[in-house]
Amino acid sequence: MSTASPALDVKNRIKRSKSEKKNLAAGILFAMPVLLGFLIFVIGPMIASAYFSLTDYSIASTPKFVGFGNYKRLFSNEDPFFYKSLGVTTYYVFFSVPAQIIFALIMALLLNKEIKGRPIFRTIFYLPTIVPGVASAAIWIWLMDPDLGLLNQILSMLGLPGSKWIFSETTVIPALVLMSLWTTGGTMIIFLAGLQGIPRQLYEAIEVDGGNGWHKFWYITMPMITPTLFFNLIMGLIGGFQVFTQAYIMTSGGPNNASLFYVYYLYREAFSNFRMGSACAIAWVLFIIIAVLTFIVFKTSNKWVYYEGGGNK
């Protein structure tokens, strides 16, 4: 039971209240640059683009309100490039995301082994990630050149037929999927962090029970890295639907629109055709597609993502 007088309790509460208000003000002040940046550079443009998506706007003219006309034009196939770009991007995402995740996981498993020079190998495999996208694209244009490219020369040395790579309608997307493996260093590092968080005693326990390497991978490694896998899947889907540099630098959406990625199509509408209203509508459709896919993955995650502390409940 408190022996302090009511007057002293009131005085202490007033002191605490002043201190809490002071801390709150300091917190808001320090967070203000981030909050202002978020409002000005994220929320503001989103609201503006939502408005422009309902208008006929070409930068040089005053926006004219057309309701959902831009969306109707997209979904009614009046613009043949909308479904084409959507199909091309879905095709790319369907193959590139699993390929990147599997390749990065294999590399992480190998670089998690106790081998000589391991830090050097990790650095080498991560380096392409920090190479600017334009420089990477220039390198791959040379690598995939049908006549002088290194890849066809290697195939020729092995006695295999060459490919037209990005210069053929049928091989351009598989070629770009292959190229996407070049920048999986960041995904590999995240997998590596997940692998190093697995308790060693779990592997020791399965060894005692007579388990082999496959048992360790399937019954210990895979369940323990499912949160990491989940994160990489989400980021892969988001990044896959936003692929742009390859189409802009390497193919210009060709040949015959075979690599017309969705964001490149958006760019063409905005800065080549100057249909900003249509471009904003395309951007919002992409936002909704990514949001729906992310929601679906999140909703299914409790069936296949394992959290040691039961965080999936």
Average pLDDT for residues 115-140, to the nearest whole number? 88
Residue 98 has pLDDT above 80, yes or no: yes
What is the structure's pLDDT at 313?
46
pTM: 0.85
Instruction: Round to whole Å and give the CA distance between 30 and 23.
Output: 11
Paired tokens of 30: 């320090």
Amino acid at 87: G
Helices (H), the chain: 6-38, 44-52, 69-75, 80-111, 118-130, 133-143, 150-157, 172-180, 185-196, 200-208, 213-216, 222-224, 226-241, 245, 262-271, 276-304
Q: What gap in Å lies between CA 85 and CA 90, rounded to an integer?
A: 8
pLDDT tens-place string over residues 138-165: 999 999 999 889 999 999 999 999 899 9
* pLDDT band for position 4 (cuts 50, 70, 90): low
**In contact, 277 and 53? CB cutoff 8 Å:** yes
More confident residue, 308 or 4: 308
Lowest-confidence pick of 9-23, 59-73, 178-192, 227-241: 9-23
Tell which residue, 74, 78, 96, 98, has the closest CA to residue 86. 74
pLDDT band at 194 (very low <50, low <70, confident <90, very high): very high
Q: What percent of the chain has pLDDT over 90?
A: 66
The pLDDT of residue 299 is above 90: yes
Question: Contact 246/179 with Cβ under 8 angstroms?
Answer: yes
End-to-end CA distance of the chain: 40
Task: State how far the Cα of 243 lies from the Cα of 171, in Å rounded to an integer.
Answer: 17
